[in-house]
């Protein structure tokens, strides 16, 4: 083992202070560099456009994008203006606001599965609340989910979760009642037959799925997968909950499920819809949403839910994303980056595969194609770790986990993409020298 890698002197000093008062020095475990062999997290004090600036004065081209919310680029003027304007009028009232009506109308108009919507603050709450509603509506308690998916950190969805828990090798988080885990059946992503069998056997309240998996790295659905889930849900009298927290507005100005032709009974949104501020939502069929308090018996609430600042940022972000050509541009950048990475893999002879959809992609090391959690898990994590540090040294910040995505934004240009490919080619030269599967 090599010594833990350091990102800089001032970062190290902050890490030492932070570690005394914040567990692992992070407010969310996925930010830690420990899983990739680092000391503490990156400490960033400023960001602009496509770049992060750390406390040691280093600049990084940002592909983390805060794990998904970033798509406009940092400090986008439309968002900072909207925030300043709202802040001057107060940030929280505990009443309804015109902004949340406008945002709800936009979402309902633009997303096929959404007839009514309720705002919350985090994706975790959106999923947790959608599950509660599904249980109330069906009178059942079971849930079917897919290994390697991430649906936030609520008890019920931390079984075989992807993303952060997978990075840390946490299969079932401690502190979760066994009785809760017993209600959850997890099947492999993209395995329509296994899913159908589990759904018909268990007749769950809900099937919870990411229509494009974003938390085992990017894994697109096989063509038959989502339609099969829809049919099985209908046959079993279960509700289909689409978790689009990471996918909505990432690939198109709306939900990816609409492009894929699948309708959810409920749908969860988050990340991009808040323009970088905490904002998430869940919604779906009007009859189901009508069961929520104060109209119905299903209780769900939030002091900061739909808060004016988040709504202002979200409206501003969605307005930018509604302009013509935005997603074509993001897709073209994604294609350029993918092609560059594939060429760099080819010229260096390092085995790897790139899964991409639009402006989201994951580079998996190893020979096999990745279409589920097993595939992501079997990829060469040792090579990923080495690659991560080689890229960081070259001023490119990736998510510190082989189970996450690279995200492009409107602030990334061809010059940034080409610089990234150049950095990757040099990094892969180093990675090639390493023994496989450390």
Ligand X SMILES: *Cc1c(COP(=O)(O)O)cnc(C)c1O
Task: Count Cβ atoms within 10 A of the Cβ of residue 2 and give its class: 0-12 exposed, 13-18 middle, 19 or more buried.
Answer: exposed
> What is the strand order of the sheet 396-397 is part of?
44-48, 51-54, 59-62, 396-397
Measured between alpha carbons, how far is residue 30 from residues 22, 59, 251, 370, 426 in Å? 14, 21, 23, 21, 26
Of residues 144-163, those binding ligand X (CB under 6 A): 150-152
Nearest to 220 by CA among 72, 407, 62, 362: 362
Q: Are 257 and 211 in contact (CB under 8 A)?
A: yes
Q: Please say which residue, 163 or 379, places its beta carbon nearer to ligand X.
A: 163
Of residues 34-73, those binding ligand X (CB under 6 A): 68
Among 40, 123, 148, 275, binds ligand X (CB under 6 A): 123
Q: Are 340 and 417 in contact (CB under 8 A)?
A: yes
Give catalytic status of residue 243 as yes or no. yes
Q: Please say which residue, 159 or 417, places its beta carbon nearer to ligand X.
A: 159
Residue 407 CB, nearest approach to ligand X (Å)? 11
308 binds ligand X (CB under 6 A): no
Q: Angle 332-334-339 (CA atoms, 0-180°, nearest 5)?
A: 95
Q: Where are the beta strands (DSSP E) in 76-129?
A: 116-120
Residue 151 CB, nearest approach to ligand X (Å)? 5
Collapsing DSSP states into helix, strand and coil, what is residue 22?
coil
Q: Please say which residue, 51 or 146, places its beta carbon nearer to ligand X.
A: 146
Residue 133 CB, nearest approach to ligand X (Å)? 16
Residue 37 CB, nearest approach to ligand X (Å)? 24
Nearest to 68 by CA among 245, 267, 212, 325: 245
Residue 26 CB, nearest approach to ligand X (Å)? 13
- Piece in contact with ligand X (CB under 6 A), picked from 29-37, 116-124, 181-189, 360-368: 116-124
Tokens of 405: 């995505």
Q: Please say which residue, 7 or 195, places its beta carbon nearer to ligand X.
A: 195
Among 256, 280, 281, 311, binds ligand X (CB under 6 A): 280
Q: Please say which residue, 38 or 68, places its beta carbon nearer to ligand X.
A: 68
Q: Which of 189, 271, 372, 397 is catalytic?
A: 271
Q: Please say which residue, 146 or 387, places its beta carbon nearer to ligand X.
A: 146
Q: Are 114 and 297 in contact (CB under 8 A)?
A: no
Among 186, 215, 257, 355, binds ligand X (CB under 6 A): 215
Q: Please say which residue, 282 or 387, places its beta carbon nearer to ligand X.
A: 282
Residue 122 CB, nearest approach to ligand X (Å)? 4
- Piece in contact with ligand X (CB under 6 A), picked from 210-218, 231-239, 303-311, 426-434: 210-218
246 binds ligand X (CB under 6 A): yes
In whole angstroms, what is the distance from residue 35 CA to residue 100 CA? 39
Collapsing DSSP states into helix, strand and coil, what is residue 383?
helix
Among 33, 55, 133, 245, binds ligand X (CB under 6 A): 245
Among 73, 211, 270, 284, binds ligand X (CB under 6 A): 270
Q: Please say which residue, 122 or 401, places its beta carbon nearer to ligand X.
A: 122
Query: Residue with the closest Cβ to ligand X?
Result: 123
Cis peptide before 222 (omega within 30 of 0): no
Q: Angle 58-62-63 (CA atoms, 0-180°, nearest 5)?
A: 145
Kindly report the number of other CB atoms within 10 A of residue 380's CB atom: 22
Beta bridge partners of 406: 361
124 binds ligand X (CB under 6 A): yes
Q: Which of 54, 243, 258, 265 is catalytic?
A: 243
Number of residues near ligand X (by CB under 6 A)? 16
Phi-psi label, residue 201: left if phi above 0, alpha if psi -120 to 50, beta otherwise: alpha
Scan for tokens 């902050």, then name that residue.
Answer: 14
210 binds ligand X (CB under 6 A): yes
217 binds ligand X (CB under 6 A): no
Of residues 169-198, those binding ligand X (CB under 6 A): none
Scan for tokens 């960081």, then name that residue.
Answer: 392
Give catalytic status of residue 150 as yes or no. yes
Tokens of 117: 């919507």
Q: Which of 150, 282, 327, 397 is catalytic?
A: 150
- Piece in contact with ligand X (CB under 6 A), picked from 58-66, 240-248, 329-337, 351-359: 240-248
In whole angstroms, what is the distance from residue 1 CA to residue 236 CA? 51
Catalytic sites, residue numbers:
150, 243, 271
Residues that bind ligand X (CB under 6 A): 68, 122-124, 127, 150-152, 210, 214-215, 243, 245-246, 270, 280
């Amino acid at each position: 083992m090599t010594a833990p890698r350091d990102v800089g002197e001032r970062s190290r000093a902050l890490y030492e202070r932070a570690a005394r008062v914040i567990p692992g020095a992070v407010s969310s475990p996925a930010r830690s560099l420990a899983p990739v062999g680092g000391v503490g997290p990156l400490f960033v004090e400023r960001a602009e456009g496509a770049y992060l600036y750390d406390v040691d004065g280093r600049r990084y081209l940002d592909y983390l994008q805060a794990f998904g919310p970033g798509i406009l680029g940092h400090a986008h003027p439309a968002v900072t203006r909207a925030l300043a304007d709202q802040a001057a009028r107060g940030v929280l009232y505990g009443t309804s606001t015109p902004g949340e009506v406008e945002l709800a109308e936009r979402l309902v108009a633009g997303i096929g599965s959404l007839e009514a919507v309720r705002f919350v603050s985090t994706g975790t709450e959106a999923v947790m609340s959608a599950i509660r509603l599904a249980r109330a509506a069906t009178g059942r308690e079971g849930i079917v989910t897919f290994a390697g998916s991430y649906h936030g950190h609520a008890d019920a969805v931390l079984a075989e979760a992807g993303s952060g828990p997978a990075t840390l090798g946490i299969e079932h988080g401690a502190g979760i009642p066994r009785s809760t885990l017993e209600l959850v059946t997890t099947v492999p992503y993209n395995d329509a037959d296994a899913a159908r069998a589990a759904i018909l056997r268990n007749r769950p309240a809900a099937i919870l799925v990411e229509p494009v998996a974003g938390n085992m790295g990017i894994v697109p659905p096989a063509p038959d997968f989502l339609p099969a889930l829809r049919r099985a849900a209908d046959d079993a009298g279960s509700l289909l909950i689409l978790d689009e927290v990471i996918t909505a507005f990432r690939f198109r100005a709306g939900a990816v499920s609409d492009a894929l032709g699948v309708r959810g009974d409920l749908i969860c949104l988050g990340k991009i819809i808040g323009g970088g501020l905490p904002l998430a939502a869940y919604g779906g069929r009007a009859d189901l949403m009508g069961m929520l308090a104060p109209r119905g018996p299903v209780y769900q609430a939030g002091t900061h839910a739909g808060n004016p600042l988040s709504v202002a940022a979200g409206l501003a972000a969605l307005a930018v994303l509604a302009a013509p050509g935005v997603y074509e541009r993001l897709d073209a950048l994604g294609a350029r980056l993918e092609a560059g990475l594939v060429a760099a893999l080819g010229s260096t002879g390092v085995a790897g595969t790139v899964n991409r959809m639009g402006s989201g992609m994951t580079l998996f090391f190893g020979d096999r194609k990745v279409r589920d959690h097993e595939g992501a898990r079997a990829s060469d994590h040792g090579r990923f770790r080495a690659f991560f540090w080689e890229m960081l040294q070259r001023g490119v910040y990736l998510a510190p986990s082989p189970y996450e995505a690279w995200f492009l934004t409107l602030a990334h240009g061809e010059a940034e993409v080409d610089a990234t490919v150049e950095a990757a080619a040099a990094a892969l030269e180093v990675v090639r020298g390493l023994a496989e599967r450390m």
